[in-house]
Structures are given as structure tokens and as C-alpha cells.
Amino acid sequence: MGRFTSIEELRKACSDLPARDPEAEKQARDREGMLTKPPGSLGRLEELAVWLAGWQGRVKPKLDRVEVFVFAGSHGVTARGVSAFPAEVTAQMVGNFEAGGAAINQLAKQVGASLTVIPLHVDRPTADFTVAPAMDEEALLEAVNAGYDAVKDRPDLIVLGEMGIGNTTVAAALSTALLGGAGADWVGRGTGVDDDGLRRKASAVDDAVTCHGDALKDPIEALRRVGGRELAAMFGATLAARHQRVPVLLDGFVCTAAALPLASLDPDGLAHAWAAHVSAEAGHRRLLDAMQLKPLLDLGMRLGEASGACLAVNILRGAIACHNGMATFAEAGVSDG
Ligand SMILES: O=C(O)c1ccc[n+]([C@@H]2O[C@H](COP(=O)([O-])O)[C@@H](O)[C@H]2O)c1
Ligand SMILES: Cc1cc2nc[nH]c2cc1C
């Protein structure tokens, strides 16, 4: 039996979100002001250190236990010709993750993070959401629970990502449902579709919006109707992290879209999450802007797999190395102007 046994329980968990530790955050901010540098000169590194301190409840944050989760799912909307790759690549890539051959295996190793790959019925695609809800309530809850239950014993940081052929169309549909506009505003080339593929993606999103209508106004119902299992799992993991006050790094367009329902339900719902990068997927910058998230990296990446988010762990390490290790003006005998 998973964590949530009804949509009502899930809704309640989304409306009952803990805050950061104000005392740890204040002390970390005060410490930043005492370190041997002109105030603010480490830019966003200072913000990051204070953010980690607030959520971890430690004036000197740690990144000893960093956990990467990659969720995989399959999508009925692939029948509409929305990806440059066949749907079976999802299961094949799960095999590649398990064998250690994917980009995320190398990047997780490079930052000393654990990597957990969680396939979610990749042999059983969700329904084509242009004509029916992608998931019934049971399937939605099962996927949300898979993500929620993956976050255990309060790690120092979680890093989220996904694999799912067709899921940039899913992310575009969820963005359109919750933020408005037309499919063409949110779709991009994903794994590399041509102009016809791009038009098919926009039409699929527009058809989904027509099919589901006002039901999409509710963020959880939108996740069920036009989401997918790996998106629901990333949503669940983001929610679990919040309940444990664990900071989160979000990956690209698909991962950010998965977290969007939490932001739609509560304007402060993603205060514990940082957008690690802006991907090359056309809709990602628009989505980040709408969610008021500032990405750390802009490297033209468009892989998914948590790759951009995992890379950004290096930035967080730099931030806490300075925050934890620097001398204060008083300690170093440097005049503080
Ligand atoms: O998240 C992103 O920014 C992103 C951008 C382009 C592609 N992807 C990855 O590529 C797959 C989805 O692309 P597509 O063309 O099949 O929709 C899926 O496995 C994602 O991990 C991911
Ligand atoms: C090969 C391949 C690897 C991926 N990793 C995440 N999405 C992907 C899509 C493809 C096609």
C-alpha cells in the first residue's frame, strides 16, 4: 500500500507544506555578511548557501548524501508521431542506466551521488491523452507514491530527472493546461523532431486541451489527465522532499513541468526547489519565467535523465565550500570597511 490511498489525501498533503528553518537561515545569512569578501560578491553562491542552510536546518550545510532519482514512463501520445525516437527506447535506456552506460551514470559518479532508476510500468503506456485521461486515479496515485516513497531518511539534497520517449509533449500539455496559451507556445523539438513533428506536437497538445476542457483547471486533475507516470513520480518526490525539508534540484523542461502543479496549488510550493539549468527545449525558459525560477546553468543541454541537475551539484558544492570554510573578517584580521 502506497503513501496516498486517495486523491483527497494527496490534496491535503499539498496544502500542508512545512517552511524552512528561519533561525538557521538567518544565521547563515549573517555569516555570509561576515566572511572575507565584499558583501554580495559571491552572487548567487551566497543565495544558494543560505537556501541550503534554511532547508537543511544547518548554518553550515552539508552535501554528503546527495541522491539522484531518474523515473521512467511510457506515453500513449507517442502514437501521434511526436518524438524523433521510437517508444521502445525508454525501456532500452532503463537497461543502459542499469548497466552504467548513460550520461547520468557518469555525472552522478562525478559528484559522488547515489543514482536510483525507477521504471514505472514502461511496458504499459499511459492512454493517449488527446482522446482520454492519461491515467485513472489509481495509476496516478501509484506513480505519485513511487516518487514520494523514494525519498527516505532526509538526504542532504535530492536531484530529480526522467526518461520517457514522448514526454516533452506531455510537459508541454501540462504547461498549457496550467499556464494557458496554445500548444505551439510550449512545444519544442525534444529529441529532434522536424518541422512536421513540431506541428504534430502542437496539435496533440491543442487536441488534449479541447478534449479535457475545464477539468484541466485543477492541477492534480491536470497531472492525471495530461501527465505521465514519471512526471507524477517527480511531483511525488518533490512533495516528499518538502515534507522532510530536503532541498531539491530540478532538471529540464519535463522535470520542471512535473513540479508545476505544486506551484499552482501553493505559490510557495517550490521554495525548497531550485531550477538547476535551462534546457534547450523551446518551452523551458518560458516555463521557468512563469514559475519565477532562476536556472543556475545554461549549457544548451536537452538530454533529461537529471543530467543538468546533477551537473549543478558542483555549483552547490562551491557555494558551501566558501560558506563553510571561509574566514570571517574578525578571524582573519581583515578590515571590513
Ligand atoms: O527535460 C528536457 O529539457 C528535455 C528536452 C529534450 C529531451 N528530453 C528527453 O528526451 C525524451 C523526450 O523527448 P521527446 O522528443 O521523445 O519528447 C525524454 O526521455 C527526456 O528525458 C528532455
Ligand atoms: C538515446 C536517448 C537517451 C535519452 N535520455 C533521456 N532521454 C533520451 C532520449 C534518447 C533518444
pLDDT per position as a tens digit, 157-172: 999 999 999 999 999 9
The reported pLDDT for the residue numbered 239 is 98
What's the gap in Å between 93 CA and the centre of ligand 2? 7
- pLDDT value at position 2? 64
In whole angstroms, give the CA distance from residue 89 to residue 169.
16
Based on the number of CB atoms within 10 Å of its own CB, is 289 exposed (0-12), middle (13-18) or buried (19 or more)? exposed
Q: 191 C-alpha to center of ligand 1: Å?
A: 6
Helical ranges in the chain per DSSP H? 7-14, 22-34, 44-56, 89-99, 103-110, 137-150, 167-179, 183-186, 195-212, 219-226, 229-244, 253-265, 282-290, 307-311, 313-325, 329-332
Counting ligands in written order, the one closest to the CA of 87 is 1
pLDDT at residue 1 tops 60: no
Cα 56 to ligand 1 centre (Å) = 31
Give the separation between CA 304 and CA 13, rounded to whole angstroms. Answer: 28
| pTM of model > 0.95 | yes
Kindly tell me if the per-residue pLDDT of 263 is higher than 90.
yes
CA distance 301 to 25: 32
What distance in angstroms lies between residue 85's CA and the mean position of ligand 1's atoms? 10
State the average pLDDT for the chain.
98
Query: Which ligand sits closest to the CA of 191?
Result: 1
Residues with CB under 6 A from ligand 1: 83-85, 162-169, 190-191, 251-255, 279, 281, 284, 302, 304-305
As a whole-number percent, the residues of the chain with pLDDT over 70 amount to 99
Is 88 catalytic? The answer is no
CA 303/CA 311 separation, integer angstroms: 12
Q: Ligand 1: which atom is nearest the Cα of residue 304?
A: 21
Any atom of ligand 2 within 6 Å of the Cβ of 304: yes
d(CA 3, CA 9) in angstroms, rounded, equals 9
pLDDT digits (tens, 9 = 90+) for 45-83: 999 999 999 999 999 999 999 999 999 999 999 999 999
C-alpha cell at 132: 482520454
pLDDT at position 290 over 70 = yes
What value does the mean pLDDT take over residues 291-312? 98
N-term to C-term CA, the chain: 61
What is the CATH T-level fold of the domain 64-315, as seen in this structure?
Answer: Rossmann fold (3.40.50)
Query: Taking the CA of residue 232 as centre, how many other CA atoms within 13 Å lie in the half-sphere pointing to its CB?
Result: 33
- How many alpha carbons fall within 13 Å on the CB side of residue 184? 3
Grid cell 504499459 — which residue? 124
Pocket test for ligand 1, best of 90, 191, 201 (most atoms within 8 A of CB): 191
- Residue 327 neighbours by CB distance under 10 Å: 12
Look at ligand 1, atom 20, and give the residue with the nearest C-alpha.
304
Candidate list 23, 32, 305, 331, residue with the active-site label: 305
Give residue 227 CA to ligand 1 midpoint distance, Å. 14
Q: Is 93 in the pocket of ligand 2 (CB under 6 A)?
A: yes
